[in-house]
Copies of this chain bind each other. A is one copy, B any other.
């Protein structure tokens, strides 16, 4: 197997999913944001977004912090150190492949 193919085959499948890729790309850029901002930016529906976030949390790539803005619940998202590392690694893999 050549280097290009190996790079492709080793891409992190948790990150590779476009929905999650969008989330990670955004979080990598802004450091921190809330659920609704993420929803507006990605144009995903709530359910879809919520389950991708859960998956990213299970992978320890994203931290989910539930809080309140006044009386309104607010979910704040942040990349973990591992998440940033994995995302960097993923991009490195892509560059190696293309």
A interface residues (Cβ-Cβ under 8 A, vs B):
1-2, 4-5, 8-9, 11, 13, 16, 18, 21-22, 25-26, 41-43, 91, 94-95, 97-98
Instruction: Give Cα A4 to B42, complex, Å.
Output: 10
Q: Is the CB of B25 within 8 A of A18?
A: no
Main secondary structure of the interface of A (DSSP, over half): helix
Instruction: Give Cα A91 to B95, complex, Å.
Output: 11
Q: Closest Cβ of chain B: how far from A17's Cβ, in Å?
A: 9
Instruction: Give Cα A13 to B42, complex, Å.
Output: 17
Q: Closest Cβ of chain B: how far from A46's Cβ, in Å?
A: 16
Nearest-CB residue, chain B, relative to A19 = B9
The answer to whether residues A97 and B25 also contact, given A9-B42, A18-B11, A42-B9 and a CB cut-off of 8 A, is yes
Could you say which of B4, B43, B97, B98 contacts A9, with CB atoms under 8 Å apart?
A: B43
